[in-house]
């Protein structure tokens, strides 16, 4: 998860130009020309409601236009080339789930249900294949998917993990944990985690990280020195330094490495366990 700046695309100008492109007779012309004002009003409403799925009103468009806009998305005509640029603008961390994959564009309001926003830049979020795994989940009751262009709460640390200490260490059990359970947006944060982050494979990835870590902590925690560490407190400072570096490197505390390191620091018994492990390797 990552807060992104709004795309700089002038959607009004681009969509208006596209509506006048009479070479698009097989796709959006003349439907977009006939229904242009409805589409532009929909864009204004989407932006005025900050992409909040509870408040943005669906736009009633003809099936012919719905079909035409989806085809425009699939094969962008000259006025909509910004779609390819947005896809290629992928940041190094997925704004939707926090993994290190990117390369696709996610329709935050799914184009199957909201074809009116199929080519609207503010509805197109660079993402990894969590995009496909989310399917058409957008909202349910008082819960909704968070929007990387609008939801400022994404700049805060929202997701952590709990690594449970049991007698079978190092076979740990790992669960997602919410870093700030009292935020007003907590129901939507949980919905976003259930529909976007967990289907993307966070838990399996964390388990893989843990498996490598317990073999030799200094190979995974790059801030650790290859020598004996005098105290648990000092060891914990190295872990905090690693967490802070991941937060800065990916410009979001909700990338998967930060989720892992925050979990290491906040799960009972884990810092002690790793400290002991490290000093066994470097006596």
Question: Footprint of Zn ion on this chain (CB under 5 A)?
Answer: 94, 96-97, 99, 127-128, 130, 200
Distance CA 49, CA 241 (A): 38
| CB closer to Zn ion out of 69 and 97 | 97
Minimum distance of Zn ion from residue 68's CB (angstroms): 29
> Residue 221: helix, strand or coil by DSSP?
coil
Omega of the bond leading into 170 within 30 degrees of 0 (cis) = yes
Minimum distance of Zn ion from residue 131's CB (angstroms): 7
| CB closer to Zn ion out of 24 and 127 | 127
Minimum distance of Zn ion from residue 82's CB (angstroms): 21
CB of 116 closer than 8 Å to CB of 59: yes
Minimum distance of Zn ion from residue 183's CB (angstroms): 21
CA distances from 272 to 212, 214, 238, 276 (A): 17, 12, 13, 6
Q: Which two tokens stand for residue 7?
A: 């795309």
What DSSP character marks residue 196? I
| CB closer to Zn ion out of 128 and 146 | 128
Instruction: Identify how many contiguous H helices and E strands the chain contains and give both numbers.
Output: 12, 6
Q: Which two tokens stand for residue 15?
A: 């969509």
| CB closer to Zn ion out of 129 and 185 | 129
Minimum distance of Zn ion from residue 85's CB (angstroms): 20
| CB closer to Zn ion out of 59 and 197 | 197
CB of 129 closer than 8 Å to CB of 34: no
């Amino acid at each position: 998860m990552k807060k992104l700046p709004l795309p700089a695309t002038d959607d009004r100008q681009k969509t208006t130009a596209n509506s006048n492109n009479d070479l698009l007779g097989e796709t959006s012309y003349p439907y977009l020309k006939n229904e242009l004002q409805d589409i532009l009003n929909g864009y204004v409403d989407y932006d005025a409601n900050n992409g909040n799925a509870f408040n943005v009103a669906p736009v009633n468009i003809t099936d012919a236009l719905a079909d035409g806009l989806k085809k425009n998305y699939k094969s962008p005509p000259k006025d909509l080339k910004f779609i390819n640029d947005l896809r290629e603008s992928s940041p190094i961390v997925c704004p939707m789930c926090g993994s290190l994959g990117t390369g696709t564009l996610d329709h935050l309001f799914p184009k199957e249900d909201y074809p009116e926003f199929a080519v609207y830049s503010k509805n197109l979020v660079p993402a990894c294949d969590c995009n496909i795994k989310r399917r058409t989940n957008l909202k349910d009751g008082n819960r909704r998917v968070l929007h990387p262009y609008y939801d400022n709460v994404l700049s805060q640390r929202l997701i952590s993990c709990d690594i449970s200490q049991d007698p079978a260490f190092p076979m740990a059990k790992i669960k997602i944990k919410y870093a700030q359970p009292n935020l007003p947006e907590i129901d939507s944060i949980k919905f976003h985690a259930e529909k976007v982050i967990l289907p993307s494979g966070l838990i399996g990835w964390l388990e893989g990280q843990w498996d490598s870590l317990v073999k030799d902590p200094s190979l995974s925690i790059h801030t650790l020195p290859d020598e004996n560490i005098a105290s648990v407190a000092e060891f914990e400072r190295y872990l905090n330094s690693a967490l802070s570096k991941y937060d800065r490197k990916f410009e979001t505390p909700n990338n998967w490495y930060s989720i892992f390191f925050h979990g290491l620091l906040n799960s009972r018994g884990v810092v002690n366990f790793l400290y002991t492990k490290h000093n066994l390797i470097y006596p």
